[in-house]
A and B are shown apart, each in its own frame.
Chain A
Amino acid sequence: MLDDKDRALLRRLQADPSLTVPELAALAGLTAGQATRRLDRMTADGVIRGQTAVIDWAALGYPLQVSLRVTLDKTVPGAFDAFLAAAREVAEVLEIQTFLGRVDVRLALVARDLAHYQDLYRRRILSLPHIADIEALMDVAAVKSETGLPL
């Protein structure tokens, strides 16, 4: 179980993952040793999974982000697994979520421009197996980008 000090550490680290352990410890009112022990324990328990680099895809030449909302043909056995395995082969796919609701799967896709998107959509996406219906929503602007959990 986590206590308030653990949560304080996670809150600070979530807000700025580049903080060093001594900086983090000072902000949370702990010694560096105490902070290290707590962070190690939370990592061992799987609460902290690690850190990932945040990439600006627009700066890398992929300014277009599209959300594809897919409904699958569930009468086919193994439709989900076959679809997900094929979607993983599309390099431009950044996120794959499955849902309980009107939508079965969401794919977040990046593209270089509209022509590239059209090509991806026709050649790589529409050829994915067992699609019953698909809707595309284009991202216009990130109003609030991934902020983490309300700890």
Chain B
Amino acid sequence: MTLDDLDRALLRLMVADAAQPASALGRQLGLSQPATWRRIRRLQEGGILRGRRLQLDAERLGFGVTVFLGLKLATKGRVSLEDFERAVGAIPEVQVVTHVLGLYDYRLRVVARDLADFERVLRRRIMTLPGVGNVEANVMLSEERRPGPL
């Protein structure tokens, strides 16, 4: 699917604020509301626009700690990856699980109320998963999301 400059501008506006109505998006691009809506539909149908995500302030909601975990499986071959992935994905505090290639097998993004809460999640829920080996934890201090190559 090929995008023109208006599609890219539309995506940039929606990354910045996806809650605005098509009429408001159109005004900023000099497009009518139906023309804007058609472009949004085309981006959705092309699989480029996957949906929207609510952005919440984790700290104000009592989640003061975010940790990125690099996790290595100890017994590859003996543990089913599917079993591990299903179990780790079911932990509510684990927000993101990515299978990676390199120093670790998986990257986990874990959210917790504080460091003591994180330790509880790590010890009771993550370290007890089948096949878990080495774990490296890095506590997040700041985060920026960029619009990317649009």
Please report A residues at the B interface, Cβ cutoff 8 Å: 2, 10, 13-14, 17-18, 45-57, 59-60, 62, 67, 69, 84, 88, 91-103, 106, 110, 135-151
Q: Is B60 an interface residue (CB 8 A)?
A: yes
Q: Check B138 against A102 for contact (C-beta < 8 Å).
A: yes
Given contacts A50-B19, A93-B146, A143-B106, contact A151 B101 (CB under 8 A): no
With A139-B100, A143-B98 already in contact, the answer to whether A54 and B61 are too (CB < 8 A) is: no
Interface: B114 (CB within 8 A): no
By the criterion CB–CB under 8 Å, are B52 and A96 in contact? Answer: no
Quick check: A96 and B88 within 8 Å, CB to CB?
Answer: no
Given the known inter-chain contacts A52-B18, A99-B140, please indicate yes or no for A59 contacting B48, CB distance below 8 A. yes
Instruction: How many A-B residue pairs have C-beta atoms within 8 angstroms? Tell me.
Output: 195
- A100 cross-chain contacts in B, Cβ below 8 A: 138-139, 141
Chain A residue at minimum C-beta to C-beta distance from B8: A60
> Does A50 contact B17, Cβ atoms closer than 8 Å?
yes
Contacting B92 at CB < 8 Å: which of A54, A101, A102, A150? Answer: A150
Q: In whole angstroms, what is the CA distance A47 to B35 when docked? A: 33
Residues of B in contact (CB 8 Å), total: 60
Name the 8 nearest CB pairs between A and B, nearest first: A101-B138, A137-B102, A150-B92, A53-B14, A143-B97, A99-B138, A144-B97, A59-B47
Asked if B98 contacts A51 (CB within 8 A), the reply is: no
Known: A140-B101, A146-B95. 10 other contacts (CB 8 A): A14-B54, A17-B19, A48-B55, A51-B52, A94-B145, A98-B142, A99-B141, A142-B96, A146-B96, A147-B96
Which B74-90 residues have C-beta < 8 A from chain A?
85, 88-89
Cβ of B57 < 8 Å from any Cβ of A? Answer: yes
Annotate B1-33 by CB proximity to A: 1 below 8 A, 0 otherwise.
101000000010011111100000000000000
Chain A residues within an 8 Å CB radius of B119: none
Among B92, B101, B102, B144, point to the contact of A95 (Cβ < 8 A).
B144
Q: Is B53 an interface residue, CB under 8 A from the partner?
A: yes
Cβ-based interface call for B127 (8 A): no
Task: Tell me if A55 and B50 are in contact (CB < 8 A).
Answer: yes
Whether B51 and A49, one on each chain, are in contact in the complex, defined by CB atoms closer than 8 angstroms, is: no
**Contact with B15, one of A46, A52, A62, A96 (Cβ below 8 angstroms):** A52
